[in-house]
Amino acid sequence: MSDKFDVIVIGAGPAGYVAAIRAAQLGLKTACVDAFVGKDGKQALGGTCLNVGCIPSKALLDSSRQFHNLTHNFAVHGISADNPRIDVATFVGRKDKIVKQFTGGVSQLFKANKITPFFGTGKLLKGNSVEVTAPDGSKQTISATNVILASGSVPIELPFAKFDGKNIVDNAGALDLTEVPKRLGVIGAGVIGLELGSVWKRLGADVTILEALPDFLSVADADVAKIAAREFAKQGLTIKLGAKLTKAEIKKNEVELTYEDKDGAHQLTVDKLLVAVGRRAYTAGLLADDTGVKLDERGRIVVDEHNHTGVDGVWAIGDAVRGPMLAHKGSEEGVAVAEWIAGKAGHINYDTIPWVIYTEPEIAWAGKTEKELKDAGIPYKVGTFPFAAIGRAVAMNEAVGQVKMLAHAETDRLLGVHMVGPGVSELIAEAVVTMEFKGSAEDLARIVHAHPTLSEAVHEAALSVDKRAIHKGN
């Protein structure tokens, strides 16, 4: 079967499905090819993010937080409950319902925008045709004027700790454990390792995280990382830095680990092992040999500043290209590419993409870290403000963390904002807007912030840049 479209998108994750919707909104005849299979065996649009990533992990994080509050934090409010327990089947089942709601929502959006979905894997052929291989092995070819490659990413598997879906799992497996493991090992203290480690720790697991790098959260600002590490230690998360896993053996339904650090080799036995050492671009089988599309040394699709591959009418977005592997980054690339295809002015500012880690406390940042500014020789000023001095945070019994603001020493232009504390996943948006409009710390300092709110920490940090915070010594 042959069919002709204006745009074919390969991949229906946050980059792909958003690109397809925006292209359709712009009047382009659009198709989207995706092979993700839901628990019911049917096509489940939304990619890793909606199915086994962002959305389900946040569902479990919220449920586990409720349980942890009940068992650890509610007493200070005068709230007590006898013998609380967690039903893991209901816990995971709630997550599954939320996933189905959102993947079904994408399907409805496709129908509303008259996007044609194809169930199967897509392979780009020369001449902007796409070979679609259905789950039953049958093939068909469709073609378009423009093809957007949005194939996403997959977990990196260690050769000596291969996923078996039972004892050694990836992020998807860690979302579907049938019971709380007594001992959970996590390889990698990045976003996935910290979030899922927190989920199962709150429910009673003894969690040990092994991180090969010597510094904790080296991608974040050092001050924020230091505060977060201290709080995680208080929560009972054991994080071993400079600890490189060298061996993992399954014996009698346990996983025996060998890791090395500066003191030599060590052993650790766990019931479940989550390997979360990062993700790699999923480009295997995506390209026929003669398409002309190039891959870099890490298997990512090579693109220019407009996400064009250099092959006429072929674009690439999301985790499969350079830049941070973040759902919102991929979505904005999808919008921009659809608009470029339609002859409009797409826009992405990679310097203001926010990062968020949904642990307790939350961690969020945008722009440059203090180290990056020092290394680049950029003169800067620093302002900080603790949540311990924010009335709303104290009333919530969540007065941990701070807001740190970095502004240019001469122009006062906001260069970076780094937060750790309650609700910072939402607060970071104010910093992003300010930086996007090339605003200054003074701009934030002059804006009235409601009282009592968590956002006052942003206001006071901005005041602190010029040593005039009201509610702390400067």
* Dist. CA 395–CA 391, nearest whole Å: 6
211 carries a ligand binding annotation: yes
383 carries a ligand binding annotation: no
192 carries a ligand binding annotation: yes
325 carries a ligand binding annotation: yes
473 carries a ligand binding annotation: no
Q: What angle do CA 147, 149, 152 make, to 5 degrees?
A: 160
- DSSP string computed for 288-341: -TTS---B-TTSPBP--TTSB-SSTTEEE-GGGSSS---HHHHHHHHHHHHHHH
- Pick from 403, 383, 384, 404: which is nearest to 393 by CA? 403
- Selecting among 72, 451, 459, 471, the annotated active-site residue is 451
Q: Buried b / exposed e across 224-256, counting CB within 10 Å, b at 16+? A: bbebbbebbeebebbbebebebeebeeeeebbe
Coil, strand or helix at 209: strand
Ramachandran quadrant class, 97 (left: phi over 0; alpha: psi -120 to 50; beta: rest): alpha
195 carries a ligand binding annotation: yes
Neighbours of 96 (CB within 10 A): 16
* Dist. CA 418–CA 366, nearest whole Å: 7
Ramachandran quadrant class, 165 (left: phi over 0; alpha: psi -120 to 50; beta: rest): left
72 carries a ligand binding annotation: no
Q: Are strands 402-408 and 380-386 parallel, antiparallel or unpaired?
A: antiparallel
Count of CA atoms in the C-beta half-sphere (13 A) of 67: 21
122 carries a ligand binding annotation: yes
* Dist. CA 146–CA 31, nearest whole Å: 11
Q: Buried b / exposed e across 399-425, counting CB within 10 Å, b at 16+? A: bbbbbbbbbbeeebbbbbbbbbbbbbb
How far is Cα of residue 46 from the mean position of the Cα atoms in its chain?
A: 14
Catalytic annotation on 266? no
* Dist. CA 423–CA 439, nearest whole Å: 23
Q: Are strands 129-133 and 139-149 parallel, antiparallel or unpaired?
A: antiparallel
20 carries a ligand binding annotation: no
In this structure, what token pair is assigned to residue 328?
Answer: 């919102």
193 carries a ligand binding annotation: yes
CB 203 within 8 A of CB 180: yes
How many Å is the Cα radius of gyration of the chain? 24
257 carries a ligand binding annotation: no
416 carries a ligand binding annotation: no
Which residue positions form the known binding site for FAD?
A: 58, 122, 319, 325-328
Which residue positions form the known binding site for NAD(+)?
A: 188-195, 211, 278
Active-site residue numbers?
Answer: 451
Which residue positions form the known binding site?
A: 58, 122, 188-195, 211, 278, 319, 325-328
